[in-house]
Structure 1
Amino acid sequence: MDGERDDVLHAVSSAVLAVTRHLSVREVLQVIVRSAQRLLDARYAALGVPDDEGAFAEFVAEGISEQEWEAIGPAPRQHGLLGAMLREGVPVRLPDIRRDPRFDSWPRAHPVLKDFLGVPIRDGDRVLGIVFLSNKRTPGGFTEADQRLLTMFAAHAAIALTNARLYERSRELALVEERTRMARELHDAVTQKLFSLRLTAQAAASLVTRDPGRALGELERVERLAGEALAELRAVIVELRPAELDRHGLAETLRKHVRLLDRLHPASFSFEEGEVCALGPETEAAVLRIAQEALHNASRHAAAEAVAVRLGCEEGRLVMEVHDDGTGFDTAAVSGHGLGIASMGDRAQALGGSVRVVSEPGRGTLVRLEVPTG
């Protein structure tokens, strides 16, 4: 039993550390699922968090590729065996899930599951979600000892998930306070500029016929005030952190953006996520902006058939790559401001990182971002 307890504590430590590293709730769910999959050597693992409308607010899985998920379709609803587990809140261990009377059919592209082990993740009497494993790689299926192990793991996972939610809510409250402060600053600074701009324009209009020289001076002041107001607006916009990042984290936000581009453009857009990387809120926002700039270039200028995005960690550094098979260009012939290269470089440099653009005519383009995670 001591050995089992040590295995559980080792597996759950990564989920707990994920919370302390300020990852989103969804990323904590992914860490929990991966830990459970490794702990009991299962081919498939999943975790579902129910909503109040008969579906799942969050559903993450391991062992299924992005392409397979696309073919399977929407996340399951709270019916069949999963619904029964949510209602009853007790562990379920089966030699063959397909023979259970509560089993419902799968979508055509769904992998075939056989042996099954699922346990609730509970906070007191409340079921926060269910974690389940299928197709144990070791012959013989899941054992009673496996069930004890996963139940113990789920108890620790409940703490990690609850803490992640509390942290995310506190971060959202802080974000609301920060946006309220920025709105006040925007109102005070930009409104004053725009008011001055309007008065100056009116003065210029009244002087055009009787004093063209003074009117020209007032128009120059209009131009200056407009530039200052624009600078104020840009400063505020740069500071705003996209709301999607607070709800889903960097990886899922970028995945959804790539999926949207895949639907909107004739080129094929794909997303690959490696090891989960812990980043601060400002770094996440900057990385997302750089990725969006690179994807904008690929979708508008590359004439590519395929665009691939990769996100992961390598030796303590976040690495994000956007690669397309399009027309490419001569990097030596493009100025630093071309294709937003300077903007991407400035954002990366502010984070202590770098952006490298590799391209040749006819050979596509690679944008590689590296940012320290510490």
Structure 2
Amino acid sequence: MDELLNELQEHVERVRGGRDRMQTLLDAVVAIGSDLELEDLLRRIVQSAVDLVDAEYGALGVLGEEETIRQFITVGMDEATIARIGHYPRGHGILGLLIREPHPLRLDDLGAHGESVGFPAGHPPMRTFLGAPVQVREKVFGNLYLTDKRGGVPFDADDEAVLRSLAAAAGVAIDNARLYEDSRQRERRLAASEDITRALLSGAPPEEILHSLADTVREMTGCDLVTLARPVGDDKGLVVEATAGVEADRLLGLALPPTTLAAKVYGTGEPVISDALSEDPRAMGGSGSQVALGPAFFVPVGDRKGVRGVLQVANLPGRPPFTEGAVDMVLTFADQAALALEIAEHRRDAEHLALLGDRDRIARDLHDQVIQRLFAGALTLQAALGRIRDQPTAAERIQRVVDDLDDTIRIIRTTIFGLQHRDRQEGDGGLRARLLALTDEAAQNLGFPPALRMTGLLDTDVPAGHAEHLVAVLREALSNIARHAGATRVEVGAEASEGALRLTVADDGRGIDPAVVRRSGLANLRSRAEELGGAFRVTRRDPAGTLLEWTAPLPSASGTAG
């Protein structure tokens, strides 16, 4: 009787345990089904799986392109352990087996399996294993991985059944979260389109629309940084013309060499995704070399026939990668942005043509009417001089008037020539394009491309004489660095703001003695600054290198002809 009672009690305990476990599973299904934020949902799924099967460690590997793990969400490890391990798994070993064969897998000893490749340095030891795929509409979204059942016992068939049930419910919850996110993205995209349309109708210039685009994309994606690079000059070099987010001011005006991912996207018209931009071997130079960036993607603004720029959307290291929905949303918005930019540029070109027409009309009227009348008036006064030679005082006054009229005629002719000459200059390559070409040329002698940052209205506010001096100074500075500094990094900054033109060239080379500033080529750079009423100085950088600073005041814009 005692044995029967014990067996009955054990049976009751199993039934009660199964009922409690089923209730826990139902509670977990309800909990994950009520969460519509995808990132929070994924972490809740892993936590629920760990609790249900009483595992010490759990993870969810989200699959990306080419059957690799794009995102890895863990439970049971602290931040210090994760930092020691380093990068999350790529999808090799047992994890890769579950990716290739998406079926539940239960192992009593991970290390004894033929597919096992061991653990990286700093990884905690693990023995028992239970895995199951998470499918969303018959497509594998990712895999749940559980290790080390508490108590030192292996996972059993009941654990596998519970995990399979949770994985099925997780697939439905993930699908709902994606649909919810898609609807939110559509709303954000419509709101962004309204903002762009409003900016166009208000007649905003292209520069303002560019910054509005960057702000809108950052708000749409919730990312840390957005940059928009545009082509400059005939060689199709790219310069960051709009930024939003962290370190935005530092990247504004940065020139992007041809080795960057942005340049690749501009050339191909195809988007590019990176899991860790600053560590990506495909990205040489660019914003990832100036600011530590993690997950990022690049999309063209426009199509292959007419790419007008490249949008970069990036997060800081440690933040999750972007979803496919976020990339598609920005791609769609970029097409609308390209149309908005095209309309704004057409309007600017029309205004520019109208301005040129006004200048031509003003020059013609000055020549045909004003000069002719002044000339006729001067001839009349000269004829009158012969009749009043006997009145020296009156004759002297009339002669002064004639001389003033001659001077006025010369000034007007100079103004006409200036209007026509300015029209010709505006059709040539601007200062920004010349600086970009010069740094590209210097890369051959330096062995690496200098980092170039340009801010302000360099093409419009800088007179031709100032531009020539600036280009000459930069060429001499880069040549000196290539010959003498032994530098591995050069940063160039050109800025036109607050009534001054500034150039800075910094390197990490051997440095120079400040006492040699007045010698050789450096003396020439100083004389160029003093000729324009500016200043020049060279200082040592800490811990190594040289900083060159060249400034010159800009003439007041009030004296220019409109």
TM-score bracket relative to the smaller structure:
0.5 to 0.7
Alpha-carbon offset, residue 119 of structure 1: 0.9
Amino acid across the alignment from 1:23: A
Secondary structure class of the residue paired with 2:219: helix
Matched residue, 2:338: 158
User: Contact between 2:240 and 2:256, CA under 8 Å: does it hold in 1?
Assistant: no
User: Residue 320 of structure 1 corresponds to which residue in structure 2?
Assistant: none
The answer on 1:63 being equivalent to 2:245 is yes
Displacement of 1:55 in angstroms is 0.8
Structure 1 residues 76 and 260 mapped into 2: Cα distance closer, same or farther (>3 Å)?
farther
In structure 1, the residue matched to 2:301 is 121
Match status 1:149 vs 2:320:
no
1:189 matched to which residue of 2?
Answer: 369
Any conservation in 1 of the 2:257–2:286 contact (CA below 8 Å)? no
1:212 aligns with 2:212: no
Q: Which protein has greater RCO, CA pairs closer than 8 Å, 6+ apart?
A: 1
Kept in 1: contact 2:292–2:316 (CA 8 A): no
TM-score (norm 2): 0.39
Q: What is the aligned residue count? A: 263
Equivalent residue, structure 2, for 1:355:
none
Q: Counterpart in 1 of 2:227? A: 46
Q: Which amino acid aligns with 2:299?
A: V
Per-residue deviation, 1:75: 1.3
Given that 2:294 and 2:317 are in contact with CA atoms closer than 8 Å, whether structure 1 keeps it comes out as no
> Which one-letter code corresponds to 2:216 in the other structure?
S
Aligned to 2:18: none
User: Residue 500 of structure 2 aligns with which residue?
Assistant: 261
Residue 192 of structure 2 is aligned to residue 11 of structure 1: yes
Partner Cα separation in structure 1 for residue 320 and residue 251 of structure 2: 28
Q: Deviations over 1:224-258 (max 9, x none)?
A: 8589879989x99xx99x9899x99xx84679642
User: How large is the RMSD of aligned CA atoms in angstroms?
Assistant: 4.6
Q: Distance in 1 between matches of 2:213 and 2:260?
A: 23
Identity over aligned residues, as a percent? 24
**TM, length-normalised to structure 1:** 0.56
Gaps of 5+ in 1: 265-299, 301-339, 345-374
Q: Deviations over 1:172-198 (max 9, x none)?
A: 121122111111111133312441354
Is 2:419 the partner of 1:180? no
Q: Partner letter of residue 42 of structure 1?
A: C
Q: 2 CA distance for matches of 1:80 and 1:196? A: 64
For residues 137 and 192 of structure 1, do their structure 2 counterparts lie closer, same or farther at Cα, with a shift above 3 Å needed? farther
User: In 2, distance between residues paired with 1:116 and 1:135?
Assistant: 6
Cα 1:136–1:186 change in 2 (3 A) is: same
Match of 2:264 among 62, 66, 84: 84
Q: Which amino acid aligns with 1:119?
A: V
1:193 and 1:228 in contact (8 A); partners too: no
Structure 1 residue 213, shift from structure 2 partner: 4.7
Partners of 2:287 and 2:499 in 1: CA distance: 23
Distance 1:136 1:160, change over 3 A: farther
Aligned to 1:161, what secondary structure does the other structure show? helix
Alignment of 1:213-228 (within 5 A): 213-216=393-396, 218-219=398-399, 221-222=401-402
The DSSP-based 3-state class of the residue aligned with 1:126 is coil
Q: Which residue of 2 aligns with 1:94?
A: 274
Change (3 A) 1:260 1:54: farther
CA distance in 1, matches of 2:318, 2:336: 25
Report the secondary structure of 2:325's partner residue.
Answer: helix
Structure 1 125/17 Cα, relative in aligned 2: closer, same or farther at 3 Å?
same
Q: Distance in 1 between matches of 2:306 and 2:194?
A: 23
Query: Residue 139 of structure 1: CA displacement?
Result: 3.6
Asked which structure has the greater CA Rg, the reply is 2
State the alpha-carbon separation in 2 of the partners of residues 80 and 69 from structure 1.
14
Once the 2 structures are TM-superposed, how far is the Cα of residue 161 of structure 1 from its aligned partner?
Answer: 0.8
Distance in 1 (CA, whole Å) between partners of 2:287 and 2:224 is 19
Does the Cα contact within 8 Å between 1:42 and 1:137 map onto a contact in 2? no
Unaligned runs of 5+ in 2: 1-181, 433-455, 463-494, 504-532, 534-555
Give the 3-state SS of the residue equivalent to 1:181 in structure 2.
Answer: helix
